[in-house]
Chain A
């Protein structure tokens, strides 16, 4: 396992369509985070899982956004009825509970463009 994997790397969609992104964390990491990053900004927290439980959601996560982590392994982030304002880089990170002090491993991100 070489790191956090995110698919797809790029996604272009028309406004109003639904999109789904996938994140495969490092296998022994039980914590998984989703962030959104727009141009010129730092990553903004969206949601957090510990194993399969979604423990925290940001106010940024509107009702059009949903995230799952079945069986505590990979996670999906779905955006329904996409809007142009959803265009951003979506980053996934994972960490292990006992080594969280030593950094969170990020994937390469999924860049979403809504046209």
Chain B
């Protein structure tokens, strides 16, 4: 089984500041992938960033970076230089590769609501 935990129901950040959204995971699959998605009020899930469990470097995509700490089983999303348009729900997700009971079906956390203040 695999599990994603997001402990921050809501986060507030000042425009242009950086913010970290927490995500911890649990799986017995030795190979897995971690994702972050953004869901604005319109409802669409927007893919932001991916980290493979065997990737040596932390993933980055523009203002998004993933702080991957494998030993701690954490995959925090860092958003630099926050913008008003970043206000949305953010979901952490993972998928396994079918080994040791891991599922290749993506499992999502409960999400964190981010509000960016001007």
Measured CB to CB, the residues of A under 8 A from B are 33, 35, 40-45, 48, 56, 89, 91, 93, 100-109, 111
Contacts and interface: CB of A to CB of B under 8 A. Distances in A.
A56 B44 contact: no
Contacts of A108: 42-44
Contacts of B104: 100
Contact of A104 (B4, B42, B106, B111): B106
A100 B93 CA distance: 13
Contacts of A91: 45
Contacts, number: 54
Residues of B contacting A: mostly: strand
Given A40-B110, A42-B109, A48-B105, A103 B47 contact: yes
Q: Which 8 A-B pairs have the closest CB atoms?
A: A103-B47, A42-B108, A106-B45, A108-B44, A109-B43, A43-B108, A42-B110, A42-B111
Nearest to B89: A42
B110 A41 contact: yes
A41 B37 CA distance: 14
Nearest to A105: B47
A102 B108 contact: no
A50 to B, nearest CB: 10
A55 B68 CA distance: 31
